[in-house]
Amino acid sequence: MKPLNLISIKPNLEFIGKRTIFFAFSVLLILASLSLFVARDLNYGIDFQGGILIEVRVDKAGKLGEMRQQLSNLGLGEISLQEFGAPTDILIRVQKQEGGEKAQQAAIDKVKQALGPGVEYRRTEFVGPKVSEELFRDGVLAVVLAMLGILIYIWFRFEWQFGLGAIIALTHDVLSTIGIFALTGIEFNLSTVAAILTIAGYSINDTVVVYDRVRENLRKYKTLSLPELLNNSINETLSRTVMTSVTTLLALLSLYILGGEVIRGFSFAMIWGVVIGTYSSICLAVPLLLYLNVNRGTAQVKSDQEVAKEISS
């Protein structure tokens, strides 16, 4: 049986020669994302805006759609429902109402009246502004710390030039994801933050694969020009990168189409992240090495050290 190849076995596409086009596109994308964020901001969910949390238990599973229909016309703004643990446990989120505690209590009473009997109310909480601010701060901190950890990892595994190139590409991915959410108006919540962290991990995985081939070629080809060496490294890993991205996208598209409203924001962010992460790994992270003075001699020293370590073990 012949192996599956989405692209030719030995592609010879020109990536490094078109780096100016890629850089210009990425700069425009980041500027557009920042402009959209400033002009339109994000459609923050209950996690970041505050609101009401109601945890209920129903007598049998499969009532999620029926409950959504019962609560959709109450005039309380955004209401989201999702299974919480067991299929009979439902978490209801209602956006913060205008007014004080009386307005929130009135909203809770409306929800209880609409659901009627046969529902066990296990928990009712109001997420105030302080909690939502803490969630937002923790979300931003999680993204920043994740990117810092990735920078340190790449720095120690390769060299600081590779770490800087990877973190620039990751920043590009995160900012463009924020921009696409500002453009589409899709709810931005804790699930989206989780998607951004997952995007960072996926993108850096692609980048490390290409960087590993770059380092290997730096040791093998001492006289080859750096632009040609980088271009060859991208082409040698292109089949793996494309096939990984395509298979991941197939799963994510299924989640987006069939997964329902609960995970639609997460799956949309992941779809965008896979596309933009693949692009940045190939068209940004590697071409940036041209301007970061990659040291071929250091790569050779590291190779000798690795060989000595393997012999001693």
pLDDT tens digits for 52-91?
A: 888 888 877 777 777 888 787 777 777 878 777 677 788 8
**Would 235 be classed as within a structural domain?**
yes
Q: 151-205, pLDDT tens digit by residue?
A: 888 777 777 888 888 889 988 998 999 999 999 888 787 888 888 888 888 888 8
Residues 153 and 123 reside in one and the same domain: no
Is residue 203 included in any domain, yes or no?
Answer: yes
Same domain, 25 and 58: no
Q: What is the CATH number of the domain that holds 111?
A: 3.30.70.3400
The answer to the question of residue 276 being in a domain is yes
d(CA 215, CA 202): 20
**Do 66 and 82 have their domain in common?**
yes
287 lies in the same domain as 156: yes
Q: pLDDT-derived band of residue 250, with 50, 70 and 90 as boundaries?
A: very high
What is the CATH number for 189? 1.20.1640.10
Q: What angle do CA 269, 287, 278 make, to 5 degrees?
A: 25
64 and 160 in a single domain? The answer is no
In a domain, residue 2? The reply is: no
Shared-domain flag, residues 122 and 196: no
Matching residue, tokens 């969910």:
45
Q: Has residue 134 got a pLDDT over 80? A: no
Going by C-beta distance under 8 Å and a sequence separation of 6 or more, which residues neighbour residue 46? Answer: 53, 78, 80, 93, 94, 95, 96, 127, 132, 189
Residue 304 has pLDDT above 60, yes or no: no
Q: Identify the domain containing residue 88 by its residue range.
A: 51-127
Which residues in 105-251 belong to E strands, given as ranges?
A: 119-127, 187-188
157 and 78 inside one domain: no
Q: What is the pLDDT of residue 41?
A: 83
For residue 246, tell me if it sits in a domain.
Answer: yes
What is the pLDDT at residue 136? 76
Give yes or no for residue 298 having a pLDDT over 70: no
Q: Exposed, middle or buried: residue 64 (CB in 10 Å: 0-12, 13-18, 19+)?
A: middle
Number of domains in the chain: 2
Q: Is residue 313 part of a domain?
A: no
Cα–Cα distance measured from residue 51 to residue 42, given in angstroms and rounded to the nearest whole number = 17
Residue 300's pLDDT is 46
- The model's pTM: 0.72
What residues contact residue 290 under an 8 Å CB cut-off, 6+ apart? 16, 19, 226, 227, 230
pLDDT of the residue at 7: 52
**7-38 pLDDT, tens per residue?**
546 677 888 889 899 999 999 999 999 999 99
Span 289-297, average pLDDT: 75
